[in-house]
């Protein structure tokens, strides 16, 4: 039975799961969450009342949270590119970096974007400036971490890089990565050149006008 992915191409967490699927050429059916297809949103809400996406469905089993979807794919639908090392200690390193990108890059980036969608009176300027400060600290820590490294954890492309790719992509659009963080900028470029992520970026191009802060004229 075909895997089904409820997702939108512009969504960073969806791109995280898509990168994993594309790395291994895993076949799946797109369930596009668009305003033209209200029944997809109804299906999503029935599967996962929290209505966060992506959501993967495999033969009636619902799998939520991008990191768990990637771990699930690695376990139940493995391909030539393992996204988690078999060695438990190396896997811990990968999960640790995955948490870093979710909690300290994506979360503050989304805070800034979501705040911009609120009516003026409901905005949270203190929360936004804290989010910008967190991004700068995260860029600084990551710059040291990436010095001399190709990928976020270990020697190969992993789960941690699946998230890093879209999160650094949008973080740079939201709160520019300063030139004083050259290793982060170079890592973001390497991720953009990875065919799985390049494909996800290309698929999202037609939707760029939907980026709430206004998409810059560059990747």
- Contact with ligand GSH (CB under 6 A): which of 52, 118, 176, 205? 52
The residue range among 60-68, 76-84, 93-101, 171-179 that interacts with ligand GSH, by the rule CB under 6 A, is 60-68
- The Cβ of residue 27 has, within 10 Å, a number of other Cβ atoms equal to 9
Is 159 within 8 Å of 67 (Cβ atoms)? Answer: yes
Instruction: Quickly list H helices, the chain.
Output: 12-23, 38-47, 66-76, 88-100, 107-116, 125-146, 159-174, 182-193, 195-204
Minimum distance, C-beta of residue 200 to ligand GSH, in the bound complex (Å): 12
Binding to ligand GSH by residue 51, rule CB under 6 A? yes
Q: Which one of the spans 61-69, 118-126, 201-209, 210-218 is the region binding ligand GSH (CB under 6 A)? A: 61-69
Biggest CA-to-CA distance, the chain = 51
Site for ligand GSH in 66-95 (CB under 6 A): 66-67
- Tell the smallest beta-carbon distance from residue 55 to ligand GSH (Å): 8
- Rounded CA gap, 217 and 78, in Å? 37
Structure tokens at 136: 């700068």
Stretch that binds ligand GSH, among 49-57, 70-78, 121-129, 131-139 (CB under 6 A): 49-57
Decide if residue 53 touches ligand GSH (CB under 6 A): yes
User: 104: which DSSP letter?
Assistant: I
Site residues, ligand GSH (CB under 6 A): 11-13, 51-53, 65-67
């Amino acid at each position: 039975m075909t895997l089904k992915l409820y997702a939108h191409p512009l969504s960073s967490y969806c791109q995280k799961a898509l990168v994993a699927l594309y790395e291994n050429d895993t076949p799946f059916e797109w369930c596009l969450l668009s305003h033209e297809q209200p029944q997809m949103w109804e299906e999503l809400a029935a599967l996962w009342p929290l209505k966060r996406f992506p959501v993967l469905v495999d033969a009636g089993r619902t799998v939520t949270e991008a990191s768990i979807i990637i771990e699930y794919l690695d376990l139940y639908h493995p391909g030539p590119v393992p996204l988690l090392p078999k060695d438990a200690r190396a896997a811990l390193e990968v999960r640790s970096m995955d948490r870093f990108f979710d909690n300290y890059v994506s979360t503050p980036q989304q805070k800034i974007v979501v705040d911009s969608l609120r009516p003026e009176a409901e905005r949270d300027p203190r929360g936004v400036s804290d989010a910008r400060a967190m991004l700068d600290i995260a860029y600084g820590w990551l710059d040291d971490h990436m010095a001399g490294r190709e990928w976020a954890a270990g020697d190969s492309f992993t789960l941690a890089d699946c998230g890093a790719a879209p999160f650094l992509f949008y973080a740079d659009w939201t709160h520019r990565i300063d030139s004083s963080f050259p290793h982060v900028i170079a890592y973001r470029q390497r991720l953009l050149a990875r065919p799985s992520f390049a494909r996800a970026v290309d698929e999202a191009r037609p939707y760029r006008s939907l980026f709430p802060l206004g998409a810059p004229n560059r990747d």
